[in-house]
DNA sequence: ATGAAAGCGCTAACAA
DNA sequence: TTGTTAGCGCTTTCAT
């Protein structure tokens, strides 16, 4: 319509320095009028990349992941990217399918939190070989040579325990999640290290629960048996189980019992008094994961494991 | 490598009836060995469609949306589709950008829950004109001629109120969300309709709160002023605000006060006793939205508004 | 400053 | 049953 070649138009539209001002103006005007939209499929084909990242998580409806995803989405949007969300429903097979989908969609990069049963991470490494960077977050493989961003399990545990110690608690009940999850073990190890520091001045009991209900049960039992003066809850799931019993028995917090948790903060502030917690923020982790991805995509980067800080958020529960 | 043309390979790979068994076999074998992956960009360009849906929500980190998204993802995955997630952070401008992104990515269809400030839905209708079906869900425009799937606001409200009436409650405090939100108004209207049915046998107070904190305040005030024997909470947000005060004042549920809410169920079961609620399931809405999308894509369908049922889930709170 | 032309990897109509 | 070919809409090199 403007009597110029396709290449001129293409260049004009992307503000190429070779094109004269007047031409650019004309092209832009007509594009506006015609409501021209570049065909993303063609661009992707031609440039062999797309402005999309894949995100593979065990489940979106999780205390932690949706805040991670939300924060990540905010970040990538600024850079013109979008997020393709895939759930593995904690099934390694579906996880593998999802990975394949990402590969086939030729996403620019993949964020993945592995399932609790994922054993073989070779498929992930293979995708990386094809120049699709992978950032593992939260639930990361033990394997060394991959990019990971994690919450500070040890630090968070330490902060939570220290808060209890400061308040001179003597009999701590520590409740952890599924014993098979690496996160449980990391936090358990950190907990025991803190206890070791204190020597025999503090006694403690440890139990595991793989659901809120199990946590309620474990807590109820411990209440009778070990009569703790403080409870350490490894996760929101554990905390909700404990808090339900506390409401049921009308236990006075913090007079009868102190509570401290590790959480991203949503659940703790539902209660009165609000529960003190060591923060593990999905929000912050999202930002970190993104910046790590950008570095990887730039290409000049070593594989490494990054950790976000944790802080203790005070509540009236200790 | 196999001494055959590209088209033969293409057809063999997609099990075209014209191709002989042996050829297919050979092609598949070699494809396996070579780890051939079809180039999605090229397919999209050629076929002019992609196996992706856009999802535009005010925020992922919301009581309701992440369960909707989670359920929708499960569903679309079965059909080989993926979900592109875009947040509008309740900003109509960003919402518009997101819509544009979807259009440019030429998604197969869009699921959208509009922001509380979205006034102009013409841009959405325009996208529909380009044969990208749009399913509005949850927060839908008042405009008639578009496809909507919603939770049953009236029914849920009715069920919740009926539960209170059955228990002979006489002084109901009804707490609603942001007065500007259509959802608040729908539920309010339904509530008043139920009250009208009862004539003067029941007295009630109505208040609005646009945050959990505001709900706490409104509830505290009402407690002193109107001394209700039951509280109706329009949403999880309201419920959490109310429950915090209840814990603070150690109010006995249901002896001192009955509580009923409208919720998808996660929050109500955090408390003891568990809170009775009329269910508005993001999970079910996801399934419905998807099936509606498929119908629209098939092309033979009228514009319509669909609603998912609600049921009362009993708790110990009434 | 602009144009011509090749080609990204695939599909499908048509030919053989 | 298989091959030839055009073309999807764009980017980019090379020529002018």
**Tens of pLDDT, residues A73-127:** 999 999 999 999 999 998 999 999 999 999 999 999 999 999 988 889 999 999 9
pLDDT of residue A296: 92
Q: Which residues have C-beta within 8 Å of that of residue A35, sequence separation ≥ 6? A: none
Query: Which residues 226-285 of chain A have a CB within 8 Å of chain B?
Result: 240, 243-245, 247-248, 250, 267, 270-272
What are the CA-CA distances from residue B274 to residues B62, B136, B239, B284 (Å)?
A: 21, 32, 12, 22
Top pLDDT among B84 and B20 is at: B84
In a 13 Å sphere around the CA of A212, the CA atoms on its Cβ side amount to 14
Q: How many Å apart are CA B73 and CA B117, to the nearest integer?
A: 27
Query: Which residues 12-41 of chain B have a CB within 8 Å of chain A?
Result: 37-41
Residue reference for tokens 């054993």: A119
**Tens of pLDDT, residues B135-181:** 999 989 888 789 999 999 999 999 999 999 999 999 999 999 999 88
Distance from residue B73 (CA) to nucleotide D10 (C1'), in Å? 31
Q: Which candidate, A117, A86, A89, places its Cα nearest to that of A99?
A: A86
Asked whether the beta carbons of residue A59 and residue B45 sit closer than 8 angstroms, the reply is no
pTM: 0.90
What are the CA-CA distances from residue A30 to residues A5, A24, A36 (Å)?
A: 14, 10, 8
Q: Decide: CB of A6 under 7 A of nucleic strand D.
A: yes
The answer to whether the CB of A222 falls within 8 A of the CB of A205 is yes
Helix (H) or strand (E) holding B308: strand B305-308
pLDDT of residue B285: 96
Task: Determine the protein residue whose CA lies at the shortest distance from the C1' of C12.
Answer: B7
pLDDT of residue B3: 76
Q: How many Å apart are CA B228 and CA B205, to the nearest integer?
A: 8
Asked whether the beta carbons of residue B60 and residue A50 sit closer than 8 angstroms, the reply is no
pLDDT of residue B258: 97
CB atoms within 10 A of CB B22: 8
Q: How many Å apart are CA A83 and CA A107, to the nearest integer?
A: 9
**Tens of pLDDT, residues A190-244:** 999 999 999 889 999 999 999 999 999 999 999 999 999 999 999 999 999 999 9
Q: Which candidate, B261, B269, B265, B303, places its Cα nearest to that of B284?
A: B265
The answer to whether the CB of A110 falls within 8 A of the CB of A101 is no
Nearest-neighbour CA in chain B from A164: distance (Å): 22
């Amino acid at each position: 319509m403007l009597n110029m070649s396709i290449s001129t138009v293409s260049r004009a539209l992307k503000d190429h320095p070779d094109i004269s001002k007047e031409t650019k103006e004309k092209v832009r005007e007509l594009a506006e009028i015609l409501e021209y939209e570049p065909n993303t499929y063609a661009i992707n084909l031609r440039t062999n990349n797309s402005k999309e990242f894949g995100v593979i998580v065990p489940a979106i409806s999780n205390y932690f992941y949706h805040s991670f995803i939300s924060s990540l989405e905010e970040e990538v949007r600024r850079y013109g990217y979008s997020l393709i969300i895939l759930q593995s429903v904690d099934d390694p097979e579906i996880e593998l399918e999802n990975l394949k989908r990402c590969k086939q969609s030729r996403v620019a990069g993949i964020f993945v939190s592995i399932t609790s049963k994922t054993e073989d991470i070779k498929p992930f490494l293979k995708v990386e070989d094809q120049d699709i960077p992978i950032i593992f977050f939260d639930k990361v493989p033990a394997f060394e040579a991959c990019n990971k961003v994690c919450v500070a399990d040890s630090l968070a545990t330490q902060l939570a325990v220290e808060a209890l110690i400061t308040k001179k608690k003597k009999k701590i009940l520590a409740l952890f999640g599924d014993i098979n999850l690496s996160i449980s073990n990391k936090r358990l190890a950190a907990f025991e290290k803190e206890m070791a520091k204190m020597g025999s001045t503090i006694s403690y009991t440890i139990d595991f629960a793989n659901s809120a209900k199990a946590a309620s049960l474990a807590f109820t039992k411990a209440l009778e048996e070990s009569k703790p003066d403080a409870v350490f809850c490894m996760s929101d799931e554990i905390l909700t189980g404990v808090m339900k019993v506390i409401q049921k028995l009308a236990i006075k917090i913090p007079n009868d019992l102190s509570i401290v948790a590790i959480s991203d903060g949503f659940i703790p502030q539902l209660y009165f008094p609000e529960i003190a917690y060591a923060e593990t923020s999905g929000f912050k982790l999202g930002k970190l994961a993104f910046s790590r991805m950008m570095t990887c995509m730039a290409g000049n980067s070593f594989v490494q494991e990054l950790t976000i800080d944790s802080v203790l958020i005070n509540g009236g529960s200790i």
